[in-house]
Amino acid sequence: MDHSFADELYSETLKLSNGESAPMSSANRELHDSYDPKLDNLSHDDGSLWGSSPEEQNNLSDLDREWNKRRDQFHTIGYRDGLIAGKEASAQEGFNMGFKESVLVGYNWGLVRGVTSALTFLPDELREKLIKTQEERQKFQSLYETVHSLSTSDAMKLFHDSIMTKRSVEQSESTEASSEVESLQDQSTNLLQNYSEELKSLIIKSPAVEVNLVVDQ
């Protein structure tokens, strides 16, 4: 049986090599008869034979879209949280800097107002014991009137102007412009500081008036 099958294949091959056509052999006929076009269509049309079903593919697409949505959402949340944290850190840093710059100025300003007010409303006899000369008593009175002519808002504005002028000096690139701004700063920003210095000089001349001064900036 095997021998006749081999002879048949050999004879057909020989005929084909000679350019002759031969009827389909039983072996080829068996291969042809076993071919199922449905299988070929299944493997090429939608891939369901080797892959997932259309429903599963749709589910995978939905999961992919959901993942991308979540990823973008978390990126947005992270970006927003980063901005908020940055703003909070910047605000805290600004507060720390502002506090350091203003605390001594505010303390000394309040000290000038408090000391001059206390001395002004003392009985004349007690004030004369603390401040020996009429000239010095008059200077204390003049300082009292000057500082109390400025409201708290006025004092805050003076301090704010001093800070802004200082920033302008630091940011100025021109030496000439910087000198002009510094001149303005000397005239306006140090008014509050000058009142503290004046009080200090008066107290030095009147040792009976004991005050803890903080005037160093």
* pLDDT given for residue 74 in this prediction: 76
Average per-residue pLDDT for the chain = 73
Residue 182 forms part of a structural domain: yes
Widest distance between CA atoms in the chain: 150
**Rounded to 5°, angle at Cα 37 from 17 and 9:** 25
Residue 4 forms part of a structural domain: no
Residue 43 forms part of a structural domain: no
What average pLDDT does the segment 71-87 reach? 76
* pLDDT given for residue 31 in this prediction: 44
For 61-130, give the DSSP string: HHHHHHHHHHHHHHHHHHHHHHHHHHHHHHHHHHHHHHHHHHHHHHHHHHHHHHHHHHHHTS-HHHHHHH
> Which residues lie closer than 8 Å to 57 by C-beta, 6 or more apart?
51
Residue 149 forms part of a structural domain: yes
* pLDDT given for residue 113 in this prediction: 92
pTM above 0.75, yes or no: no
Across 17-26, 41-50, 78-87, 153-162, the highest mean pLDDT is recorded for 153-162
Residue 15 forms part of a structural domain: no
**Collapsing DSSP states into helix, strand and coil, what is residue 46?**
coil
Residue 167 forms part of a structural domain: yes
C-alpha distance from residue 108 to each of 95, 157, 195 (Å)? 20, 16, 9
Domain count across the chain: 1
Over the stretch 149-204, which tens digit does the pLDDT of each residue have? 988 888 888 888 888 887 777 777 555 555 555 555 555 457 888 898 999 999 99
Residue 70 forms part of a structural domain: no
pLDDT at 42 over 50: no
Residue 170 forms part of a structural domain: yes
Rounded-to-integer distance, Cα 66 and Cα 57, Å: 14
Rounded-to-integer distance, Cα 83 and Cα 70, Å: 20
Domain around 130: 102-204
173 DSSP assignment: -
Across 17-21, 38-42, 49-53, 77-81, the highest mean pLDDT is recorded for 77-81
